[in-house]
Amino acid sequence: MNRRMLALTLSVGLSSPALAQVDDATYCRQLAALALRYTGGAGGEGRLSADLSTVGAIDDCNKGKFASGIPVLERKLRSNGFTLPKR
């Protein structure tokens, strides 16, 4: 029985950071999609074009740097009147 508890404890303890990272990745992708679709300035051919801070934040998210990408995207969306998706 002690082996089972140890195995269970280790599996839960090891998976929590991994799950948080997956959740951050998903959340970052959601924010990026909203920011790309609904924010930005007029670009070529009349389409919206993301500003450099948005592009940089998306790049951070793509590189796994969620702690630096997510706050920028959240600020950008809030400043444009958006309600953020559930995290």
Please say whether the beta carbons of 70 and 24 come within 8 A: yes
The span from the CA of 35 to the CA of 82, in Å, is 10
Q: What pLDDT digit, counting tens, does each position of 26-44 carry?
A: 999 999 999 988 887 766 6
pLDDT at 10 over 70: no
Q: What's the mean pLDDT in 10-22? A: 50
In the 8-state DSSP scheme, what is residue 48? E
Query: What global pTM score does this model have?
Result: 0.71
Cα distances (Å, whole numbers) of residue 60 to 4, 10, 68, 70: 39, 30, 7, 9
Which strand (E) or helix (H) includes residue 62? helix 52-62
The span from the CA of 8 to the CA of 24, in Å, is 24
